[in-house]
Structure 1
């Protein structure tokens, strides 16, 4: 190899490396980093499975876990998150009405049929008169439990209560259940103190409960309680939002949900 040819080869190699570096830098700049708020358990686990699919569409997902249902919408409204995935539409609608959030649903995710659990009784029929019952204290999830109890013939509510009935709307309570309202995230911890507790599926699985085997009453997977991805209204038409929803609503994620959660969590798209 001549000296001149060697110099040309080295120069060409350096140019190629430089072009590759520039392409990588450009590619990194083209990627969109989005922070997504979730609650621990299934929502977080599913979003972890979404991450590599979204990466192929240029999205770098950073998952931020919240231990309650209140903060994720406040953080999204404040711009601390770009999206969240933890709530159903009645809850979001209630938050928007109460707090004026400019947040919109952009795609459905999963359904978590809510259940009633007990450490003392193996079936609902075994639950005695005047039993103590803990339910979530937010209007939508607490109301959801009351609608479940009405659907199962346990109690009766006023006509026309919609999706947010309260304890005050109970007109017939044959079992004379003593109902206590507490924060949804704390409901699994009450099982040592109450006869029965209504627990959202994400908190139930996090506490080691099996919603399919352990629930003594369980909601039918119907109605408006499908969970969703939410973003700020100003962002809903952004290309990354479409990419995020498409990454979630894939056959791979559907299979992951069905395999991982064995019926406790159901795809909602």
Structure 2
């Protein structure tokens, strides 16, 4: 205990000496202060790839884009909260809100950029018009993904959910099932492996890509930009509260929502990533 106190006092004295000597924190900047370098923490795919494409466009607006790739979903938020980075691009709003609540951080949405749609893919049936009595449809069994899958099935007239089920829907919330389809709940990574046993499978974007599916060419239906799920799970630029109006951040969001970046996303990802309008 005495050692801890000593260390604490030493830290205070050192901080005071540094302050008295006019020491500065290197590249750190005050909250809300604008800089000509915008530092963004991002996931590798597709976020960092999209940011790389945005670099020259942002430079035209007078800002350098400094991108660092992270392979986890914790550090990108921590480095924005600490002020080491200006923004991050890897998450959707529900995750951000959950992180804030759990970690006591103060992160907010600065811009909504893209979403990665769920799709209904062919199993033994090659068209939704072929749906028949008792067909099996495989869906992910985790809470968020199952709800998105069921909502997509509802959007395409296969089932009807209870009115208030929303993004917490489970099979217990199915109110109408005119074809008496059997919903087969599987771990998300396993769904694509039952294409020979189910009439249809419902996959999220990354598992569809891993299974060799093209969202644009192979999906029989997928989440539209005006769907409840797309609006909820849109991937965002996140910043620390108070920095939303920084000129560099606003310029970054403007570039990421530009026609040039929309075209890049549409051509590169073939429907697996869709610009959010």
TM-score > 0.5, shorter chain as reference:
yes
Kindly indicate whether the alpha-carbon contact (under 8 Å) linking 1:103 and 1:230 is maintained by their aligned counterparts in 2. Answer: yes
Output the TM-score relative to the length of structure 1: 0.68
Deviations 1:35-80 (A, max 9, x none): 322362x4343222113323443333324254xxxx42x3233227
Are the equivalent residues in 1 in contact too, given 2:137–2:181 (CA < 8 A)?
no
Matched, 1:259 2:267: yes
Distance 1:250 1:217, change over 3 A: closer
Q: Distance in 2 between matches of 1:125 and 1:194?
A: 18
TM-score, normalised to structure 2, is: 0.67
Question: Taking structure 1 as reference, are residues 76 and 102 closer, same or farther at Cα in structure 2, changes over 3 Å only?
Answer: farther
**Structure (1 or 2) with the larger CA radius of gyration:** 1
Number of the residue aligned with 2:78: 78
> 1:216 corresponds to which residue?
220
The gaps in structure 2 that reach 5 residues or longer are 1-34
1:12-161 aligned at under 5 Å gives the runs: 32=37, 34-38=39-43, 40=45, 42-56=46-60, 57-64=62-69, 66=71, 71-72=72-73, 74-79=74-79, 82-90=86-94, 92-93=96-97, 102-126=106-130, 129-135=134-140, 137-139=142-144, 141-161=145-165
Number of matched residues? 232
Deviation at 1:106, TM superposition (A): 0.9
CA contact (8 A) 2:143 2:170 kept: no
Q: Deviations over 1:213-235 (max 9, x none)?
A: 21123233313424222223354
Deviation at 1:177, TM superposition (A): 1.9
Q: Give the whole-Å Cα distance in 1 for the aligned partners of 2:186 and 2:216.
A: 24
Question: RMSD in angstroms over aligned alpha carbons?
Answer: 3.4
C-alpha distance in structure 2 between counterparts of 1:232 and 1:262, whole Å: 32
Shift of residue 133 of structure 1? Answer: 0.6
> Structure 1: which 5+ runs fail to align?
1-29
Specify whether residues 242 and 103 from structure 1 end up closer, same or farther in structure 2 by C-alpha distance, changes over 3 A only. Answer: same
Partners of 1:86 and 1:203 lie apart in 2 by 17
Secondary structure, counterpart of 1:212 in structure 2: helix
Q: Which residue of 2 aligns with 1:245?
A: 253
Deviations 1:203-251 (A, max 9, x none): 4345431112211232333134242222233543444322321231223
